[in-house]
Amino acid sequence: MIRFQHIAKSVVMAAIAVLVSASFSAAEQGGKYWTPADGQPVPHKAGHARQHVAKPTTATATRKQSAFARMEDSAAAKKREHHLILQVNTNDPAAMNLALNNATNVAQYYKDAGEKVKIEVVTFGPGLHMLREDTSPVKTRIEEMALSTPEVSFKACGNTQEKMQKAESKDIPIVRQAEVVKSGVVRVMELQEMGWTYVKP
């Protein structure tokens, strides 16, 4: 009897070992493991390591945007072009020389600043004498400025030129560095409408 119980016990133990072995084998093949709670295999979920990417804070992004904005503003300032009108309407060498001084100083200022500038000296009425080939007291200086300061240009009023030609019964020559426009006053108006700065020395 004792021998029979021993044999039965051995058979039961062998059966349990077979069942346990089969369960582990199934778990290895199917990615599942066995739990004694309900006896059902439960899928095994492999853990995935999460990658945390640091995102820039709002303050950092704002600082970067501000830096880029300053760079763009600086570049825009360098590309900006300034415009100045200097009007001369009197037959006065002192007034014309003052206008030429202003033109030279402004041109040099923006040259040093690395910015562009355009300057027009517009003459009409008695001021046309400043650009007349036969009467200009500053003809030599205008010739020199045309070479040294190309940012400065000169405009002579065509209406005034015609009136002087009729009054003097002769052609009124204009220095070659100047351009004749139909009307000096209209020229000033049009430039101002385009945003040019107007100065009368």
Domains and CATH numbers, the chain: 80-199 (3.40.1260.10)
pTM listed for this prediction: 0.63
pLDDT of the residue at 194:
96
pLDDT digits (tens, 9 = 90+) for 135-187: 999 999 999 999 999 999 999 999 999 999 999 999 999 999 999 999 999 99
pLDDT of the residue at 80:
82
The segments of the chain whose pLDDT lies below 50 read 20, 24, 26-27, 31-39, 42, 44, 46, 48-49
* Continuous H helices in the chain: 2-30, 58-79, 93-112, 139-148, 158-168, 184-193
Q: What SS3 state is found at 13?
A: helix
pLDDT of the residue at 201:
86
